[in-house]
Structure 1
Amino acid sequence: MMNTLTTLGATLILATSTFAANANATEFTAADNTLGTQLCMAIAKDNKTSLRNTMQKLRVNKHVMTEKLMCNDLTVEKFAATYALTNSAKHLNIDLNTSTTIRDLAAQRNTDVLVVSGSK
């Protein structure tokens, strides 16, 4: 009985992590090493800790991130919504549930390489 539960638990964890990895299959590559691009890449990582550390290192606050930064000629809110970057959006206090975007969910299954550039 214990082995069955252990096996079931390991299978569920593996299935969940596989689904999470496939949820955002876009691969982001930096276009250059400017501050804007570094901030956009931190958003693209979709990791709250990494984003917070990058913002602290570059001395940028949430207001500047959400009101002045552009990632690939999109506002940070549209950039996060387009690529389903929910963790970054949460950290920046962006509610993705209230924004309306059109996403091709079938296209997200393919791994795309996207070059990211930030505003200067």
Structure 2
Amino acid sequence: GIILLFAVMATAFMGYVLPWGQMSFWGATVITNLLSAIPYIGTSLVEWIWGGFSVDKATLTRFFAFHFILPFIVSALAAVHLLFLHETGSNNPSGIPSDSDKIPFHPYYTIKDILGA
């Protein structure tokens, strides 16, 4: 779930940079520079994301590619997340076994998940 959250946030951030105005430029500069705080790989990671040593045209091209690819990755991660969720079930924080009346996953929850209800 957390990985999905970060992937969706990354997709939104990449889209925010695409208009390439002053706000977008400085947003890209500040947020990507935050990654340089990661020990050992931070500066190399930032240079790889930028496509050079500063935010430039190469950065915009990379962000456009990331913005296009990430929704497909998010969709695949969501499908895997749903598969794992329905395979193992939800978390039971109280620890009390609940063997109450249950209904089968398919077709009830399959249709509900498809419709997004």
Q: Under a length normalisation based on structure 1, what TM-score does the superposition of the two structures give?
A: 0.26
Radius of gyration: which is bigger?
2
Which has the larger helix fraction? 2
Q: Under a length normalisation based on structure 2, what TM-score does the superposition of the two structures give?
A: 0.26
